[in-house]
Amino acid sequence: MAGSSSSSRSASTSLNDDDKRHSPIKYRVGPLDYHPAVYCKCQKKAALWISWSDDNPGRRYIKCYSAQTDGCDLMEWYEGRHDPFVQTLLIDLRDAVWKLKKEKAVIKRQFNEAVEMIEDLEGQIADLKEENARLDQFEGEKEYLEGK
């Protein structure tokens, strides 16, 4: 189990900060679609988010929806900690999803580059066909002139 945990932590450190800010999965419900409502110091309904940190993977928490702009500092855990085995499993699954998303982005970029290259080559082929047709005309004229 320790080996799995250490592999999770080392794999997650290779991710950049942008990767760590995004949930590896889509939220099944919106951050304000929960009941009963919890209101923050701003008197607005607080948002229910999911943590994907190494310390609290998959653990839900309540935070002021406007905390990054003009909101308050409300932040409290919605539920308790996960069992250590489940926590390690969630970290491994999170890292696997993030890795697959990165690989998908690379493959998509490579595919788009290949499509551009094919389009360029098709343009070159069309140009060469035109040049061949023009040269074939000269060849016909040459044969005609030599035949006279």
Residue 85 CA, distance from chain mean position: 27
pLDDT at 147: 73
Tell if the pTM clears 0.85, that is, is over it: no
State residue 67's pLDDT score: 86
From residue 16, how far is each of 10, 56, 102, 110, 124 by CA, in Å?
A: 13, 18, 11, 21, 40
pLDDT band for 148, please (50, 70, 90 cuts).
Answer: low
Each residue of 55-103: pLDDT tens digit? 999 999 999 988 888 888 999 999 999 999 999 999 999 999 999 999 9
Domain segments of the chain as ranges? 2-147
> Which residues, other chains included, contact 116 with Cβ-Cβ below 8 Å and sequence gap of 6+?
none
Question: Each residue of 5-36: pLDDT tens digit?
Answer: 444 444 444 556 666 668 888 888 888 999 89
- Pairing type for strands 75-77 and 47-50 reads unpaired
User: What is the distance between the terminal CA atoms of the chain, rounded to a whole angstrom?
Assistant: 91
Rounded distance, CA 42 to CA 74, Å?
A: 9
